[in-house]
Amino acid sequence: MFDPLTINGKRGVDLLHDPVLNKGTAFTESERDALGLRGLLPPRIFTQDQQMARVLENIRRKTSDLEKYIYLGSLQDRNENLFYRVVMSNLDEMMPLIYTPTVGQGCQEFGHIFRRPRGLYVTARDRGHIRDVLRNWPFQDVRMIVVTDGERILGLGDLGAGGMGIPIGKLALYTACAGVHPTQCLPVMLDVGTNNTALLQDPLYIGVPERRLRGAEYDALVDEFVDAVKDVFPRACLQLEDFGNTNAFRLLRRYQPIACTFDDDIQGTAGVALAGIYSALRLTHNRLADHKFLFLGAGEAGVGIGDLVVTGLKAEGVSEAEAKLKCWFVDSKGLVVKSRTDLAEHKLPYAHDHAPITDFLEAVETLKPTAIIGVAGMGRLFTRPVVEAMARLNERPIIFALSNPTSKSECTAEEAYTWTDGKAIFASGSPFKPVVYNGQTYVPGQGNNSYIFPGVGLGVIASQAKHVTDEMFFASAKALADLVTETDLAKGRIYPGLERIRAVSAAIAVAVAEVAFAQQLTDMPRPADLAAHVQAHMYVPAYPEYK
Express each pLDDT in 71-105 by its tens digit. Answer: 999 999 999 999 999 999 999 999 999 998 899 99
d(CA 12, CA 33): 10
Can you tell me whether residue 115 is helix, strand or coil? Answer: coil
DSSP 153: B
Confidence of residue 5 (pLDDT cuts 50, 70, 90): very low
303: which residues sit within 8 A by CB, 6+ positions away? Answer: 249, 266, 329, 346, 347, 350
Start and end residues for every CATH 3.40.50.10380 domain found in the chain: 98-259
Give me the percent of the chain exceeding a pLDDT of 70: 99
Hey, which CATH number is domain 98-259, 1.10.260.40, 3.40.50.150, 3.20.20.450, 3.40.50.10380? 3.40.50.10380
Residue intervals of the chain classified under CATH 3.40.50.720 are 266-547
Q: CA separation (Å) from 512 to 28, 85, 327, 461?
A: 41, 26, 26, 10
The residue type of 383 is T
Residue span(s) of the chain under CATH 1.20.1370.30 come to: 4-91
- What pLDDT is attached to residue 265? 94
Q: What pLDDT was estimated at residue 521?
A: 98
Long-range own/partner contacts, residues 123-132 (CB < 8 A, 24 or more apart): 123/190, 123/191, 123/192, 123/208, 124/192, 124/208, 124/213, 124/217, 124/221, 127/220, 127/221, 127/224, 128/224, 130/221, 130/224, 130/225, 130/228, 131/228, 131/231, 131/232
Q: Catalytic residue numbers?
A: 99, 170
Q: Is the pLDDT of residue 344 over 80?
A: yes
Q: Which CATH number fits domain 266-547: 3.40.640.10, 3.40.50.1100, 1.10.4190.10, 3.40.50.720?
A: 3.40.50.720
CATH class of 4-91: mainly alpha
pLDDT band at 6 (very low <50, low <70, confident <90, very high): low
Task: Give pTM, 2 decimals.
Answer: 0.94
Rg (CA), the chain: 24
Question: Would the pLDDT of 277 be above 80?
Answer: yes
How long a stretch of residues is the chain?
A: 547
Residue 436 φ/ψ, nearest 5 degrees: -100, 120
**Alpha carbon distance 30, 23 (integer Å):** 14
Taking residues 497-516, what's their average pLDDT? 96
- Residues 510-526 have pLDDT tens digits of 999 999 999 999 999 99
Helical segments of 6-64, H only? 12-16, 29-34, 48-60
- What mean pLDDT comes out for the span 283-298? 97
Return all residues near 179 (Cβ < 8 A) that are at least 6 apart. Answer: 458, 502, 505, 537, 538, 539, 540
